[in-house]
Amino acid sequence: MSPNASDAVGRAERRDTAADVPRRRRTPVPVRQAVVLSGLAVGAVVVSAASWAGTPVTVGNVGGMVVVGLSLGAIYAVSASGLVVVYTTTGVFNFAQGAVGMYWAFVYWELRVNRGWPAPVALALVVLVLAPLGGVLLDRAVMRRLRNLPLVLQLMVTVGLMVAFMGIAATQWQGDRGRTVLPFFGHTGSFEVIGVTVTWHRLITILVAAAIALLLRLLLFRARLGVAMRAVVDSRSLAALNGANGEAVSATAWAIGSSLAAVAGILIAPESQLVVDVLTLVVIDAFAAAAVGRMRSLPWTFAGALLLGVGQQFIRRFLSFDDGFANMHEALPTILLFVVVILLPQAQLRARGVSAQLARRTLRLTDVKESTVGVAALFMLVLAWTGGTLPFTDAWSSVGINRGVTMMVTAIIMLSLVPLTGWAGQVSFAPLAFAGVGAVIFAKITGDTGSAYGLVLAAALTAPVGALMALPAVRLQGLYLALASMAFARGFELLFFTQTAVIDPNRGGRQFAPLSIGGWELTGTGRGYLLALTVVFGAMVTGLVALRRSRWGRRWVAMKDSEAAAATLGINVIETKVAVFVLSAAMAGFGGALFGLQVGTLNVLQFELLVGLPIVLLLVVGGVSLPAAALFGGVNTVLFIVIKDRWDYSWLSALEVLGPGIMAVVMVLNPAGAVAEIGRGFARFLPWRADARAAYAAEVAANREPEPGELGLSRPFTAADMVATERALSVANELARPGHDGAAAAMTVERPAP
Amino acid sequence: MTGTMTGDGRRARLEARGVTVRFGGLAALSDASVDVRAGEVVGLIGPNGAGKTTLFDVICGLRAPDAGSVVLEGADITGRSVHRRARLGIARTFQKLEVFGNLSAVDNVRVAVEMRRRWDRSPMRPLAEAAAVLERVGIAAVAGEAVAGLPTGTARLVELARALATNPRVLLLDEPSSGLDDSETSEVAGLVRSLCDDGLAVLLVEHDMSFVMDICERIFVLDFGRIIAEGSPQDVRVDPAVQAAYLGTEAAPMNGHRQAP
Amino acid sequence: MTRGDADSSRARVGPVAPVLELHGVRAGYGQIEVLHGVDLSVAAGEVLALFGPNGAGKTTTLGVCSGQIRPSAGSVRLMGTMVNGARPHALARAGVCLIPEGRGIFPNLTVRENLRMATYSGVAYARVEERAFEQFPRLAERRTQLAGTLSGGEQQMLAISRGLATDPALLLLDELSMGLAPMIVAELYERVGEMAAAGLSILIVEQFAQSVLGVADRAAVMLGGRVQQVGEPESIAAALGGAYLDGH
């Protein structure tokens, strides 16, 4: 309850006598929601009618749909309820919920299948011991430090955790290989009820979910610990005033969340195969279910999950879509997530105060001159590289050049997030979706003629797509925006890039002719292309540096710091947000076109959500508000590939995923970003940064305490040292005097007369 | 108790008429009306939770009232969005600081000056003008520093400067003196008075009563979301309903003390 | 010596070991210092009322006493023991009970669940419930209702019933009367008075002096982060009008 509302509760006491009952002015929100919902219902019916597969509606079919749907929904519900319990009690939204479940499913499989443990023992060990311990460990090591960080960093760290878990599992078990996990009672164990076949596994799944629902209910409403968990949701500080230990409550929530993730992972593995990506993406289903419960209500979360499961089975059994929409059942959670986000009421502009941001070190802005110098240095370096003067044998081979191109293209796509996330504070996990749109547009328009206008068009035509994603963003803030962007990226992956009209999977060969600019021909893998990309990247960096110093840059940063205050200055918050989304999409689209030119042939896999996450993470690790961080991100992306390539150890096999994930998690320790730290260290070597040298000297001086042995020997003994020594000696004398308690003397303070 | 020092013939620049705001069916403001004239400093006082900041939110558009209207120079602006009202000349500061912590002090003000270009056609150089506003508020020395690192008092002055930079017609100040030391407070008082001499209308919420009593020509007293008294500082000080509201006595009944507009 | 003897002798001798003692406490939020050296003591069995205008630092003082805010200087002693920097839940279990400003209840828990939270103090649930319902029979009628749906007065009753039912060593009350009708405030303070008579040590923070005059043994005025004056409740209250409305 907000302080205002709680005031109002009391205020009403005296109002009871007042006769006036003010009329409501605004249209009640439910009307709008009802309109949207009925529109969607009509849409669903129309789609269903149009795509009806002709499956006979028999008891067997409908019953089968319900049983399979409920068992799937039950798994989503278990995972989502872990998400909700953790989010409500700790305030951290765990994007890694699916990945955690995936990891424990692998551990279970390892024990059960590889080591041949009996199922009950393996199950008990994983679900009741290892997973809860892992949850507590995560809370202690990472999550506890997240509580007071800005939301962007909170989200990035849990996404980092998700990617890291994928990396760990892939390293440990080569998880992209398809494996089947036996259901608890073998493959075929099943029985039949009124013509509906029910496998034991599905029955067990449904029963387990029901039992978990019951246990959670009992815990949260009967046990004092559970009551304390709900109390923490209302007010963490008041719970502490009652004597409940908030840290212990949080740790319990993480233990429960982790355990529920494990249960969900183990239950779904036999249904979906034991594959890292597939199990990790269960989290999207969990998001959608939790969003139905507004991230708070467990009953609604369960309802959302069951609806989702049955809905997916309905699509699979009764509808048939063209090839392009063949993933419709997989896309259902994405669609549901988007619908819920649209139905949410408008977030109110609210004055929040800046106390949370106080006392943070702020960065000096790079100026255009510095950026130009830096970019020139980069260009010289790349020139030396392509000229073969760098002392790495393979750097200028065709493989090396191609990696350089990958580095630059990645860095350019990363740049698109600098104004959006770094300055305007809008989280987006969808840069690759925009890049994909840009690549497709370029391929369609001028890809085969090599005309450079196509690049411009790719940027210009991707921009409106950015406005499309801004639609939920302008209404919502923070977490829901992040979820919407994830749903957006996943939706594009499943429903847009799969269209043959968009990317034709049967079309082989290069879709991109060499780019021709003013008589120059640039193939997507050549040295000229790498040099051109370096110039383009440099120009974009310098442009961004100038933009950050312009009124638009200031306005975006101002809006991030306080939307309410920005609006009271006359800033149209909606217009300003849409503008930055449009800019970001255009930049990503441009980068995507350059990517297309490099790879030559487009396919669906290039623009998947999960492929995009490491890109976002590496930029954030570098420091998302700095254009230079994009170079850091690009370099690291390639570095991981190079390392993996060079040293063929099995523990490096998933480095390109593991690396960014772990780096993002470690970011908790240094939220400012790596580039800022590096910059602070290097600045004093730049001839024009006298200020940095002065700051460094001051820091060194502050860290140096005079030690008795070094006085007058390693450095001159100054008057200040003399005074300090004098004082130290007199204090020592005071304390040495017998019968004198120096500390007590210092504590004696005048007390007010009683 | 309609005694005002500015005379009754002047039209109100800003009026809030019969504003009611309810949180979940409970009234934070009920039928509250205040008005400010050009060149006048009007105080809004009342115990904790009386609804003062909520009334500010309604006036600047951050919260839609359940009933009542906001009128700027005779025109009803109740349905306008926050940024539209800002462009029409309503500026405010916040009780809990809402500065742009990642920007320098001068850039905080510059954002405001640059926005003004949207509706103010007069030629200007934003940077120079922002620096001039900082000078006027007396914090030119910290122009280049990031606001997140400034002490509260100074940050509050940055907010004041930022509000002034929009060239407002009505200025809403929410506790302008909190976090300021005595000399800063008197400087702000002097500044507010000189702004009014230039024709600005100022409505301020303040807990420092000496500040309010010194600076305001009229005072509205808000309690339980209702205006329980209105008048000159002297009148308000001795008003039994006000005494009761502040000291919690039952000297006077709470209802029936509202002034007819 | 029987227990009763010990109690009565302590009462005769007067405040030798204060239950709560603040010495030169400085504290604040981030870089902003709100308390600039607060000295204050509450003797065993004493009721001290702390008055002051908004922003004087009253709530911050309570925050320091309950462990929510760590003092940057000075000492906080609870029955003679230094407790600087102890965490709120530890202090709560040690017997410091703060009823915070603006309804110290969990709105989404039922009345019973709210009372259940009070059992962290070590008192059995049956006893907490029994005493709470005995003192505020209205709560008994609403035991299964969500606390957020209670009226303001009932919410406040629920909030203080935690203080009254768990035998704390020290009760801290923050602006109990805020937003409540005078009659309800009077009823609440009547209960507080009964507890005081039974020997509970209480620190009451109030803006409205009138409501606590019947309960307080001593009163203090806070202004600008310091305790300005300590004395008889009546004389302090008489001077308050000036403090609030003139700012002096």
Q: What is the pLDDT of residues B142-161, one digit of tens each?
A: 888 888 878 878 889 999 99
The answer to whether the CB atoms of C30 and A240 lie below 8 A apart is no
Question: Helix, strand or coil for residue C72?
Answer: coil
Report how far residue B56's alpha carbon sits from residue B70's, in angstroms, rounded to the nearest whole number. 11
Longest dimension (CA), chain B: 58
**Judgement on whether residues A304 and A373 belong to the same structural domain of the protein:** no
Domain closes at, from A608, A635, A650: A608
- The DSSP result for B220-236, as a single string, is EEEETTEEEEEE-HHHH
* CB contact set of A105 (below 8 Å; sequence gap of 6+): A181, A262, A265, A266, A268, A269, A274, A279
Structural domain that includes position A729 = 705-735
Answer yes or no: do A307 and A440 share one domain. Answer: no
- Assigned token pair, A153: 């960093």
What string of DSSP letters covers B80-101?
S-HHHHHHHTEEE--SS----T
Alpha carbons A426 and A55: distance in angstroms, whole number: 45
Distance in Å, alpha carbon of B243 to nearest chain C alpha carbon = 8
Instruction: Report pLDDT digits (tens) over C65-87.
Output: 999 888 988 999 988 888 888 88
Q: Could you read off the pLDDT of A440-450 as tens digits, one per residue?
A: 999 988 878 88
- Within 8 A of B112 by CB-CB distance, chain A residues are 569-570
Distance between CA A526 and CA A98 in Å, rounded? 41
Residue from the list C41, C117, C153 with its beta carbon closest to the beta carbon of A231: C117
Give the residue from B159, B147, B134, B112 showing the smallest Cα distance to A362: B147
Chain C CB contacts of A3 under 8 Å are 102
The string of pLDDT tens digits covering residues B109-119 is: 999 999 887 66
Q: Which of B154, B177, B178, B209 should be substituted to probe chain C, the one whose Cβ sees the most C Cβ atoms within 10 Å?
A: B209
CB contact under 8 A, B246 and C245: yes
Residues A397 and A448 in one domain: yes
CA distance B213 to chain A (A): 27
A351-380 residues touching B, CB cutoff 8 A: 351-355, 357-362
Report how many domains make up chain A.
3
Nearest Cα to Cα of residue B101 among A469, A692, A561, C21: A561
* Burial class of C6 by CB neighbour count within 10 A (0 to 12, 13 to 18, 19+): exposed
For residue A29, what pLDDT is reported?
A: 54
Residue A641 falls within a domain, yes or no? no
Of A608, A626, A653, which one is at a domain's C-terminal end?
Answer: A608
- For chain A, list residues whose CB is within 8 angstroms of any CB belonging to chain C: 1, 3, 6-7, 9-14, 221, 224, 227-228, 230-231, 233-235, 237-246, 355, 358-359, 747, 749-754
| Within-domain flag for A329 | no
A398 and A461 both lie in a single domain: yes
Nearest C-alpha in A relative to C176: A10
User: How many angstroms separate the CA atoms of A276 and A175, rounded?
Assistant: 5
Q: Which of A591, A608, A625 is the last residue of a domain?
A: A608
User: What structural domains does chain B harbor?
Assistant: 1-82+168-175+197-261 (3.40.50.300), 90-166 (no CATH)
- Coil/strand/helix, residue C224: coil
What is the C-alpha to C-alpha distance for residues C179 and A12, in angstroms, rounded to an integer?
Answer: 8
Residues of A in contact with B86 (CB under 8 A): 567-571
Buried-exposed string A415-427: b where 16+ CB fall within 10 A, e elsewhere: bbbbbbbbbbbbb
pLDDT for the residue A134: 96
| pLDDT, position A15 | 32
Instruction: Choose, out of A88, A219, A224, A238, the residue to mutate when testing the contact with C (most C CBs < 10 Å).
Output: A238
- Has residue A255 been placed in a domain? yes
What long-range pairs does A521-526 form, CB within 8 A, spacing at least 24?
Answer: A521/A450, A522/A597, A524/A405, A524/A597, A524/A598, A524/A599, A524/A600, A525/A398, A525/A401, A525/A402, A525/A405, A525/A598, A526/A401
**Helix residue ranges, H only, C45-175:** 58-65, 88-93, 111-117, 125-135, 137-141, 152-165
* Cα–Cα–Cα angle for A65, A67, A73, rounded to 5 degrees: 95
- Provide mean pLDDT across the span C39-64: 88
**pLDDT recorded at residue A535:** 95
* A462 and A526 share one domain: yes
Q: Which residue has the tokens 């209480």?
A: C202
Complex-level ipTM = 0.88
For residue range C92-132, list pLDDT tens digits in order. Answer: 888 899 998 877 899 889 999 999 998 988 889 999 999 99
Distance of alpha carbon C36 from alpha carbon C226, whole angstroms: 6
Residue A225, Cβ neighbours under 10 Å: how many? Answer: 13
SS3 A411: helix
| Residues A602 and A487 occupy one common structural domain | yes
Contact B68, B20 (CB under 8 A): yes
**Whose CA is closest to B41, among B191, B177, B158, B245?**
B191
- Nearest Cα of chain C lies from the Cα of A15 at a distance, in angstroms, of 10
pLDDT in tens, B202-225: 999 988 888 888 899 999 999 888
User: Å from B81 to nearest chain C CA?
Assistant: 31
- For residue C66, what is the nearest residue in chain A, using CA coordinates? A241
Tell which B residues from 189 to 248 touch C, by Cβ distance under 8 Å: 207-213, 224, 237, 242-243, 246-248
A548, with CB counted inside 10 A (0-12, 13-18, 19+), is buried
User: Which residues of A are less than 8 Å from B162 in CB distance?
Assistant: 565, 569
| Terminal C-alpha separation, chain A | 40
Give the pLDDT score at C242.
Answer: 63
pLDDT score for B4? 37
- Are A214 and A93 contained in the same domain? yes
Q: Is residue A189 part of a domain?
A: no
User: Quick one: A292 and A384 in the same domain?
Assistant: no
| Structural domains in chain C, sorted by start | 16-245 (3.40.50.300)
Instruction: Kindly state whether residues A392 and A521 are assigned to the same domain.
Output: yes
Listed as ranges, residues in chain A with pLDDT below 50 are 1-28, 354-361, 706, 708-714, 737-754
Q: Is residue A484 part of a domain?
A: yes
Cβ atoms within 10 Å, residue A191: 10
For residue A435, give the 3-state DSSP assignment.
helix
CA distances from A366 to A211, A373, A425, B146 (A): 58, 11, 19, 15
Answer yes or no: do A367 and A314 share one domain: no
Q: Does A171 fall in a domain?
A: no
Instruction: Give which of A84, A82, A436, A109 is closest to A273, Cα–Cα.
Output: A109
Residue A524 lies in a domain: yes
Are residues A559 and A478 part of one domain? yes
Containing H/E element for A169? helix A151-173
* Mean per-residue pLDDT of chain B: 84
What is the least distance, in Å, from the CA of B10 to any CA of chain A? 27
Residue A640 forms part of a structural domain = no
Distance from CA of C89 to the nearest CA of A (A): 4
Question: Distance (Å, rounded) from C-alpha B236 to C-alpha A167?
Answer: 70
Give the long-range contacts of residues A514-519, CB within 8 A, separation 24 or more. Answer: A514/A450, A515/A450, A515/A452, A515/A455, A515/A597, A516/A450, A516/A451, A516/A452, A517/A452
Q: Are residues A442 and A572 in the same domain?
A: yes
Between residues A567 and B2, the one the model is more confident about: A567
**C92, C119, C179 member nearest A240 (Cβ):** C92
Q: Quick check: A659 and A636 in contact, CB under 8 A?
A: yes
Per-residue pLDDT at A579: 94
Q: Measured between CB atoms, does C175 come within 8 Å of chain B? A: yes
Residue C106 is nearest to which of A11, A238, A754, comparing CB atoms? A238
